[in-house]
Copies of this chain bind each other. A is one copy, B any other.
């Protein structure tokens, strides 16, 4: 037990902490979605980039399906579309459902999976941890772009450090 406790202390991050880190970012992204006026969420963009709605659809395509595949080993399809009817409320509802889905499948990921080499969505290769880092980092990256959209629209985005 003493050895186990020491190992607990001397790791960079536990699976539970890693999940909390991800969900903290997802909570901030949710508030960025909320900060967009309905119309701008679906229509505004800069420099020919995607709208924040399209970026959000990419995040939804990756997060819950990605962790489900990491947990189960069953290949998922990368699907950036669902019938949201141009409604932010529908997208936020899906966001919240996926929050639960991520918690559920995260609890089923065996700890050795983080260091195993995986191929996700039939094409992306890397360790479990590097895959999850990609999910999180890609979300931060696109959310940072959303901050510029909000600023360009004259809207104050939520504080980056509030999770």
Contact = CB atoms under 8 A, between A and B. Distances in A.
A48 B133 CA distance: 31
Interface string A132-163: 01100110111111011111111000001100
A2 interface: no
A49 B7 CA distance: 44
Kindly report how many copies of this chain are found in the complex they form together.
2
Counting chain A residues whose Cβ lies within 8 A of the other chain, the interface size class is 35 or more
5 contacts: A12-B114, A21-B130, A21-B133, A141-B144, A141-B160
Main secondary structure of the interface of A (DSSP, over half): helix
A42 interface: no
Contacts of A151: 46-49
A49 B149 CA distance: 11
Contact of A12 (B18, B46, B138): B18
Contact of A10 (B25, B47, B111, B148): B111
B47 A154 contact: yes
A48 to B, nearest CB: 6
Nearest to A132: B12
B140 A47 contact: no
